Amino acid sequence: MLKGVAFDLDGVLTDTARAHYRAWKKLADMLAIPFDEEANEALKGVDRMGSLALILGDRPGHDEAERIRLATLKNDWYLEEIAHFGPEDLFPGAREALEQCRAAGLGIALASASRNAPLLIARMQVAELFDTIIDPASLAAGKPAPDIFLAAAEALGRAPAEMLGVEDAPAGVQAIHAAGMKAVGVGDRAALPDADWIIPAIADFDLAAYSA
């Protein structure tokens, strides 16, 4: 029996992908590292430090202190990009999807790799629809490890088998399954072949289809 849902944020409820891309691109250009939209695809669902590690690769000269400085610089540029986010930046149907879960009495968790997720949902005026927001900084490992979804289940007091995860990235779907949950993929089947259900957009979210 379904008792809880954990939603990713970027690409599921709103689109901050362009803002992330522009900030990472600016950093890569500063470091003279080739980076384009194709390379950016590998960062989907990956946390900030993990994304930085992918960009830097095995290039020498970046100790832990320098990596933290670079990640902070990227985040500052990203915050500038999202400074004016508001309710209009929610995807169509995003609030309604959350309200479906609320009306059904389900626990609702935000399971985003973004440390700025609490700021974003507050600006988009949906923070009150979440029972818990998982802090990715508190986890031992990011997606595709199951940590964030296991933490969501624990915070909601639900067993993982009673939970549903909603993701737009292959790493996210992998994390959901590794946690022992079913996955709703937002996108297309070719990009998310392992999702249990596929919807083109969050506006197509239908809780009844996943509760049967």
Domains of the chain: 4-14+90-211 (3.40.50.1000), 17-81 (1.10.150.240)
Closest to 210 (Cα-Cα) out of 162, 169, 173: 162
The residues near 129 (Cβ < 8 Å, ≥ 6 apart) are 95, 98, 99, 102, 108
Is 166 marked as a binding-site residue? no
DSSP E strands in 45-96: the ranges are: none
DSSP E strands in the chain: the ranges are: 4-7, 107-110, 132-133, 163-167, 182-186, 197-199
**Residue 91 predicted with pLDDT over 90:** yes
Is 126 marked as a binding-site residue? no
- Grade residue 116 by pLDDT with cuts at 50, 70 and 90: confident
pTM equals 0.81
Is 9 marked as a binding-site residue? yes
Question: What are the tokens at 163?
Answer: 């939970």
pLDDT, residue 93, reads: 97
Is 40 marked as a binding-site residue? no
Is 117 marked as a binding-site residue? no
Over the stretch 24-70, which tens digit does the pLDDT of each residue have?
999 999 999 999 999 998 887 788 888 999 999 888 888 899 999 99
Which DSSP symbol is given to 170?
A: H
Is 74 marked as a binding-site residue? yes
Whether 36 sits among the annotated catalytic residues: the reply is no
